[in-house]
Structure 1
Amino acid sequence: MTEAPAAARGAPIPLSPPHLTGREGAALQAVLESGWVAPAGPAIAAFEDAVAAATGFPHVLATASGTAALHLAYRVLGIGPGDEVWAPGFTFVATVAPAVQMGAVPRFLDVEPGSWTLDADLLRRELAAAARRGRLPRCVVPVDIYGQAADLDAILAACGRWGVPVLSDSAEGLGATIRGRHAGRGARLAAFSFNGNKIVTAGGGGALASDDPVLIARARHLASHAKDPAPHYQHSETGHAYGMSSLLAAVGAAQLAALPQRVARRRAVFARYAEALADLPGLAFMPEAPWGRATRWLSAVLVDPARFGAGPEALRLALAAAGAESRPVWKPLPAQPVFRDAPRAGGAVAESLFAAGLCLPSGSGMTEAEQERVIAAIRGACRA
């Protein structure tokens, strides 16, 4: 497909750009005037309080990234060489990468078609089989996908029978709910991301949250190079430089104040896509799980080439020609070269999602005219 000239496409429509509130500048200026620009000071505490209020977790540690939060979580859970860490295969590599770098062995489980999140029934069966083998995982890591929270109640029940801790990768789940409570609540630990493309952003950064103050205190120690209490630099173990900058914390706190509005807007974007494209054959939007309320951080669609008349890659190119960014859904981790030898259970659902799935422009700041351009490009790509 030949790419249309930029003038014909109009201004680019990114997949999920930052949406500023207008309060970030004043927050940054206040931090600069205070002199607290390092990973310390009142801005960090204010951000952690804001995350606690947004997630319902009483104990929060601000981190340099969502991946740093996951790495710290694996460390405080005592993950070591040879331990098995179970996660859905349908996720980003950061879910398991820190554990693998620590010597752990990932095992990938399939997701369910009704939510695109970890299949709790499969997990239950696999845990029972692992118990019979005498090799249970050291932790299970459900993942919130595209703003939809995994069914933690079922996952916690399955893991609780065998005493396996649950770490929720909620990098994509901020603002989502599970039966009325916030995404990640109930897990031993939950990791969040404030990357530039998330529903609210600090321009980077992450957070680790828990109901257990001891775990967060341990993670806080490791996040600042594991310095022992002493007037000089003394270390009984090695840690990391994983603290969040006060500048990022100031931006993140300003953004968190707008989280309810951002969720409402993303859901409205999704609803408009679903309504405007309902008559097209061969398109199916990501379902909303019965146990919760998704944020629709990204609006994802499945494309049936036989009925739509074009596949997801052809649709992606058509959107690119219209100046709109789209992206395939997650390629399953068992299909990644780095994990080709990793053990797995199932995978057909994740593979089918990757074969058909595409994430559409979903920014909360997208105008109706911009979304209409996207809709027109999708309709134009339909060859049914």
Structure 2
Amino acid sequence: MESKIWLSSPHMGGKEQSYVTNAFETNWIAPLGPHVNGFECDIQNYLSQGSHVAALSSGTAAIHLGLILLDVGLGDEVICQSKTFSASANPIAYQGATPIFIDSEKDTWNLCPEQLEIAIKDRMSKGKKPKAIISVHLYGMPYKVDEIHNIAKAYNIPVLEDSAEALGSSYKSIKCGTFGDLSVLSFNGNKIITTSGGGALVSKDIKLKEKAIFLATQARDQAVEYLHSSIGYNYRLSNVLAGIGRGQMEVLDDRVSARRANYNHYKESFKNINELQFIDEPDGYFSNRWLSCMLTPSAEIREGIRTSLESLNIETRPLWKPLHQQPIFKDAPQYLNGVSDNLFEKGLCLPSGSNLTENELNRITSAIKTYFRA
């Protein structure tokens, strides 16, 4: 059998080792150190827009701290995009709050502005104004920023922007990760750049960054002894992993270009297969194409393609199963229009790593073409 083609594997650029070696040579192996500060500055410079960045142990930790900073607590309600990974919603439960799931729209597959406003009005009519909105840039495609944020401002509800999949994406030439009252990044092993495990919380308010760092380092008060007047968390990124991130930031633009090239390769290769559809970028949108996704005619065909590729040692997966379909969230309020259910039924994520070779891309496209010829 030929070698495994992964959905989205880590891709080192070569500079990461020098930063890690420096951490060992200077004995900065402890949780904090100069690479953490340097990594934060690298991200801040990349995002611009007056961003302040706190490097954390995961994107999930960033969402959790974001909710805490937005004062989400027991009994509150938080609106969350349903078409996303469970890590977008799990921290809502950590806080004892209730997720309110909102369906997608067809243009970007992200949070539907129409359903969002319906949900806000309905929750308010029940005496439960949502405390925050979690909106996701799914697979690197920006959500409808203007429409979502105009609604949020109209009802004075803060937006926690989940940009875990969208580093390198932009909307109207402004980088994703800078639109929310607070924003979240992820550097998990499958993301466009990685620190093995890691994430970040982004704010335009340096005091919120400082509060996030305080909470992420066990909320230790300024005192000679270990003094704690708040509940804290062990959420800070290590100096060694931040060193990996510094090397990865040097190749971020190359990684975006490579993933966009993957998408273009698939779209061009399948242009004569009418059964397959791809999501285009609306005007003003720039997607990093973290994962290249296509829609098939049915769940049966989606699974036929997936299992066929699996037999050839090629990894694919269905689009995220909507959170309103997840057993753990079955009782959560939901405002649906059928879009995310349809996307899950028909959608397939194709191998999208920036380290895919031309031979591997040809293996994938040839296998899919063969499936449709059978």
Fold match (TM-score > 0.5): yes
Cα deviations by residue, 1:188-247 (Å, 9 ceiling, x for unpaired): 100100001001111110000010112111111100000010011000021101010111
Counterpart in the other structure of 1:153: 146
Give the count of matched residue pairs: 373
CA contact (8 A) 2:51 2:178 kept: no
Q: Does 1:328 find its partner at 2:318?
A: yes
**Residue 208 of structure 2, aligned match among 209, 215, 221:** 215
Counterpart in the other structure of 1:42: 34
CA contact (8 A) 1:15 1:361 kept: yes
Counterpart in the other structure of 1:3: none
Counterpart in the other structure of 2:120: 127
Q: How does 1:27-66 map to 2 (within 5 A)?
A: 27-56=19-48, 57-66=50-59
Cα separation, 1, equivalents of 2:107 and 2:371: 27
Q: Does 1:318 find its partner at 2:308?
A: yes
Deviates more, 1:288-297 or 1:128-137: 128-137
CA contact (8 A) 1:13 1:370 kept: yes
Alpha-carbon offset, residue 292 of structure 1: 1.2
Q: How does 1:34-113 map to 2 (within 5 A)?
A: 34-56=26-48, 57-113=50-106
CA contact (8 A) 1:144 1:172 kept: yes
Alpha-carbon offset, residue 320 of structure 1: 1.1
User: What SS is found at the alignment partner of 2:139?
Assistant: coil
Cα separation, 2, equivalents of 1:267 and 1:186: 23
Counterpart in the other structure of 2:219: 226
Q: Does 1:346 find its partner at 2:336?
A: yes
Shift >4 Å, 4+ stretches: none
Cα separation, 2, equivalents of 1:179 and 1:38: 40
TM-score (normalizing by structure 1): 0.94
Cα separation, 2, equivalents of 1:254 and 1:115: 31
Deviates more, 1:91-100 or 1:126-135: 126-135
Alpha-carbon offset, residue 383 of structure 1: 4.9
Q: Does 1:175 find its partner at 2:168?
A: yes
Counterpart in the other structure of 1:382: 372
CA RMSD of aligned residues (A): 1.4
Alpha-carbon offset, residue 131 of structure 1: 3.5
Deviates more, 1:128-137 or 1:157-166: 128-137
Deviates more, 1:119-128 or 1:137-146: 119-128
Cα deviations by residue, 1:118-166 (Å, 9 ceiling, x for unpaired): 1122212332343444321000010011111112221111010111000
CA contact (8 A) 2:80 2:100 kept: yes
Opposite residue 35 of structure 1, the aligned amino acid is N
Structure 1 alignment gaps of length 5 or more: 1-5
User: What SS is found at the alignment partner of 1:255?
Assistant: helix
Structure 2 alignment gaps of length 5 or more: none
Cα separation, 1, equivalents of 2:281 and 2:372: 25
Deviates more, 1:128-137 or 1:259-268: 128-137
Q: Does 1:17 find its partner at 2:9?
A: yes
Deviates more, 1:57-66 or 1:127-136: 127-136
Alpha-carbon offset, residue 262 of structure 1: 0.8
Deviates more, 1:287-296 or 1:246-255: 287-296
Cα deviations by residue, 1:279-318 (Å, 9 ceiling, x for unpaired): 1121011332334100111000111149xxx611110111
Q: Does 1:191 find its partner at 2:184?
A: yes
Cα deviations by residue, 1:44-103 (Å, 9 ceiling, x for unpaired): 000001111222252110000111111111111111011000011100001010111211
User: What SS is found at the alignment partner of 2:135?
Assistant: coil
Cα separation, 1, equivalents of 2:102 and 2:4: 37
CA contact (8 A) 1:167 1:190 kept: yes
Opposite residue 313 of structure 2, the aligned amino acid is G
